[in-house]
Amino acid sequence: MAGCADFSDLLFLPGDRAPTLDLEIPIGEQHVLPASVDKVSVIVLWNSGCTGCVEVLENLSALDTEFKTSSYGVAIMVRDVEATLDFGRSLSVKSRLFIEATSDRTRLSRGEVTRAWFEASGHVAVPAAFVVDASGVLLWTGYPDALVQILSRVRDGNWDIVAAREQRLREINEAGAGYRSVVNDMNEAVMANEVTTALQIINVAEQRFPSILQNGDYCLAKLQALLCADRAKVDIQMHYEDAIVKFADNFALRIRLASEILRNPAVAQEMLPLVLRDMKEIDQHDAVGLKLGDRMRLELALTRASAALGKRLEAEEYASRLRVLIKQGVLPPRLSQEIEEMTLAALG
């Protein structure tokens, strides 16, 4: 990303006062509310689909014993409350576990803890840990395997909060995660068919945070919003042309952009030559370095674009290559069948 200064006020970083923990459901019958003003607190964000979260959560009691902290686990992005309750109740630390509050569990299930803690601190996966001092100021956030080291330094009075803030900002910048909340707001609006809201987010974000235009996730979300809003084809094409130049080295993103366009026949028809040319360029640069899923998307995009332009022999060759990739991958039968159906539909 080109710089990070213009999005820093979106973030929750060491040195900032911690937002309220907006909780809805305690996991255990006997629970302690996470409101400690006299101790350092450890907050671990988790989800029932995270196998790596179990060991971290089970270790909360040991952390409190060793470092005299108050530790809690908050489940975020929860769609299935019952499954999350069952998962949490199977753990010995269930009295320390909670589910975040949210007004909607039908879309991305982004409660206030997800937004104000997880996304704002640049995390992309759970478990995510936070260390908050007795006055409510964030000292550190990161992957929980560093907790013992961090808490030891805090206890010994050797913690440099300024350095921690600078390091976290660098990590967010390198990961391109500074605009995650904006991108998720856009995705949520598109999923709800609230296209006007999505377009408003685009306008505000680009005026307020110019460097968001260098963010690949935002680029993809913007294309999806433009397609859903039935914006003029020239606007969509300009965005696509700009993106494949700006993100020339990001093959995976370019493939996803092409895939989105090919899902919209009305737009794709006029852009087919451009899309096919770009996918061929990636193919000719040797796509072996791509992840298997992206290679499949590439071959499917080549198949669909070639077939739509009447290049039957080329399309059949790409389709054959796609089937080889499907056999190489460990895909659920339903997904393999869906890919095959899309391939056959493209070939006509």
**Averaged pLDDT for residues 167-195:** 88
What confidence score (pLDDT) does residue 70 get?
Answer: 92
Q: Tell me: the pLDDT tens digits for 39-82?
A: 899 999 999 989 899 999 999 999 999 999 999 999 999 989 99
This prediction has a pTM of 0.79
Residue among 145, 138, 139, 58 nearest 94 (CA): 58
C-alpha–C-alpha distance, residues 330 and 74, integer Å: 33
Q: Tell me: the pLDDT tens digits for 77-123?
A: 998 999 999 999 999 988 889 999 887 755 678 898 999 999 999 99
Parallel/antiparallel/unpaired status of strands 23-26 and 41-46: unpaired
CA distances from 12 to 17, 110, 114, 321, 330 (A): 8, 16, 12, 46, 39
The amino acid occupying position 329 is: G
pLDDT for residue 331 is more than 90: no
Higher pLDDT, 38 or 273: 273
Q: Tell me: the pLDDT tens digits for 280-303?
A: 999 998 666 788 889 999 999 999
What confidence score (pLDDT) does residue 33 get?
Answer: 57
Which of 136-140, 199-203, 228-232, 248-252 comes out lowest in average pLDDT? 228-232
What confidence score (pLDDT) does residue 2 get?
Answer: 34
C-alpha–C-alpha distance, residues 322 and 344, integer Å: 12
Q: Please, which residues bridge with residue 73 across strands?
A: 44, 97
- 183 — pLDDT class (breaks 50, 70, 90): very high
Q: What does the DSSP assignment read for 268-294? A: HHHHHHHHHHHHHHHHHT-GGGS-HHH
Residues 14-48 as b/e (b if ≥16 CB within 10 A, e otherwise) read: beeebeebbbbbbbbeebeebebeeebbbbbbbbb
